[in-house]
């Protein structure tokens, strides 16, 4: 046995080491709703799943890495090596009852590797974001006998997850899997209350940083069978409630407001450094089913529930509710073996999602719904694919003095599919 394309594989390994550094440095949200809890929770979808309404639990495919369900790694070919990475760009329009603004950002959204250890044991390694924080807003309120008071909030950062997943085949139809991972990252928040019309009151500034560094486990199962010409895949995922080790720094000071951004600080009210505590991540369950005809079409649906009522940060609960997500998606390939038309070999994807987020503000539940579509472009003389995905959606409402977000996401990803070993050939 000899190794082919060793230079190409070396390039992939180099990219895999470089991309995580880029991933950690990016702005990944500009949502004011990320002020709550651990921020905006990232559903771990690759570009293919994003284009199909976020369905992923029941995808069992040897041509992509589905890190949402670790049992799906069992579909990898024995001699194959997969590299998958995606880039996300998001354009967001924010508005309330009186004002509106637009914002945008782009970031690397995930990077992963997948390969076979033997015929019944497959593995995947990757880095994906778990939560994103990114907001910056303020407002002025007139209070009797005090005057104008300015409230300002700013936050940044997020939590990442580095995983090492394993899948095992049990018989012909069943596979089970586990992602052993590591949560790490920090969230920085700043809050100020400024008495801009009076020199008789000292204003207050609070800087808060929470860092998480701890391990986690999540589990998956997939049952796949064939009925006539149709493939049936049923997938389930579960992660138990976890207490993650965390550190907190908090610095509270008084200051005198200035006409510039420079604050004149006076006294330190409190300083907490490296306080030890825990962040409670609630349990999560999900279920999906997919029906497909090989290299022709597939259609699937899935359900997810996460128990965010159990979330705690340093023994303090947040005003979160349990979240629910529903997804529907499909993929069509007009003619996988077409010789005359490239576009008949292209995969066309469509989807719809609805999410009842953990947020309930001013007695109003914050919901998120969107439609998505995308294409998979096969590379010539290769099983590799360039995937493009788009999603248009809306989160929140302008009712009850809240903020509505309308977003357009564009994702591009590449899945490199290479054979690691081939038998030598002699002419």
Domains, in order of start, for the chain:
2-422 (2.40.160.60)
* DSSP state, residue 282: P
The CA distance from 174 to 165, in Å, is 17
**pLDDT, position 277:** 94
Percent of the chain with pLDDT strictly greater than 90: 65
Is the pLDDT score of 258 beyond 90? Answer: no
420 within 8 A of 413, measured Cβ to Cβ: no
Is the pLDDT score of 139 beyond 80? Answer: yes
**pLDDT, position 262:** 63
**pLDDT, position 305:** 97
User: 195 versus 191: which is more confidently predicted?
Assistant: 191
pLDDT digit string, tens, across residues 18-52: 455 555 555 667 888 999 999 998 876 899 999 99
Positive or negative, the CA dihedral 76, 78, 80, 81 is: positive
* DSSP state, residue 26: S
Percent of the chain with pLDDT strictly greater than 70: 89
The phi and psi torsions of 56 (rounded to 5 degrees) equal -155, -25
47 within 8 A of 82, measured Cβ to Cβ: no
The CA distance from 314 to 212, in Å, is 12
pLDDT digit string, tens, across residues 305-341: 999 999 999 999 888 999 999 999 999 999 999 989 9
110: nearest Cα among 154, 155, 56, 74: 56
The neighbouring-strand residues paired with 128 are 161
Collapsing DSSP to helix, strand or coil, 34 comes out as: helix
CA angle 73, 76, 80 (to 5 degrees): 135
Tell me the two tokens of residue 393.
């959606």
4 CB-side CA count, 13 A: 12
What's the pTM value of the predicted model, to 2 decimals?
A: 0.88
The CA distance from 336 to 359, in Å, is 44
Kindly state the average pLDDT of the residues 114-129.
93
**pLDDT, position 80:** 85
Collapsing DSSP to helix, strand or coil, 281 comes out as: strand
Rounded to the nearest integer, the mean pLDDT of the chain is: 88
pLDDT digit string, tens, across residues 45-103: 899 999 999 999 999 998 889 999 999 999 998 888 999 999 999 999 999 888 889 98
């Amino acid at each position: 046995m000899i190794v082919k394309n060793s230079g190409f594989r070396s390039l992939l390994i180099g990219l895999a080491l470089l991309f995580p550094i880029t991933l950690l440095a990016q702005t990944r949200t500009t949502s004011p709703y990320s002020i709550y809890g651990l921020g905006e929770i990232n559903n771990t979808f690759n570009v293919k799943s994003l284009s199909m309404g976020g369905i992923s639990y029941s995808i069992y495919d040897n041509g992509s890495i589905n890190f949402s369900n670790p049992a799906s790694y069992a579909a990898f070919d024995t001699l194959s090596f997969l590299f998958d990475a995606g880039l996300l760009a998001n354009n967001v329009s924010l508005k309330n009852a009186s004002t509106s603004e637009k914002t945008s950002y782009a970031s690397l959204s995930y990077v992963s590797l997948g390969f076979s250890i033997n015929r019944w044991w497959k593995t995947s390694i990757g880095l994906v974001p778990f939560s994103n924080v990114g907001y910056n807003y303020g407002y002025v309120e007139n209070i009797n006998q005090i005057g104008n008071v300015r409230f300002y909030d700013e936050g940044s950062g997020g939590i990442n997850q580095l995983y090492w997943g394993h899948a095992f085949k049990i018989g012909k139809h069943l596979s089970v899997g586990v992602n052993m991972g590591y949560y790490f990252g920090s969230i920085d928040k700043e809050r100020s209350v400024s008495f801009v019309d009076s020199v008789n009151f000292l204003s207050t500034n609070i800087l808060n940083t929470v860092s998480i560094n701890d391990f986690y486990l999540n589990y998956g199962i997939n049952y796949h069978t064939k009925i006539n010409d149709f493939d049936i895949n049923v997938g389930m995922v579960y992660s138990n409630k976890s207490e993650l080790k965390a550190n907190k720094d908090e610095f509270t000071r008084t200051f005198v407001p200035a006409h510039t951004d420079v604050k004149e600080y006076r006294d330190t009210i409190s300083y907490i450094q490296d306080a030890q505590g825990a962040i409670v991540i609630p349990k999560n369950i999900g279920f999906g089913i997919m029906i497909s005809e090989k290299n022709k079409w597939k259609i699937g649906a899935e359900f997810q529930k996460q128990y965010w009522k159990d979330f705690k940060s340093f023994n303090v609960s947040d005003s979160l509710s349990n979240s629910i997500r529903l997804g529907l998606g499909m993929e069509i390939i007009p003619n996988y073996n077409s010789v005359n038309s490239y576009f008949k070999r292209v995969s066309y994807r469509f989807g719809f999602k609805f999410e009842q987020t953990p947020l309930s503000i001013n007695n109003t539940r914050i919901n998120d719904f969107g439609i998505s579509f995308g294409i998979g472009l096969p590379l010539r003389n290769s099983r590799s694919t360039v995937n493009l995905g788009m999603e248009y959606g809306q989160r929140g409402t302008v009712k009850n003095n809240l903020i509505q977000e309308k977003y357009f996401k564009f994702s591009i990803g590449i899945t490199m599919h290479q054979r690691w070993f081939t038998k030598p050939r002699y002419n």
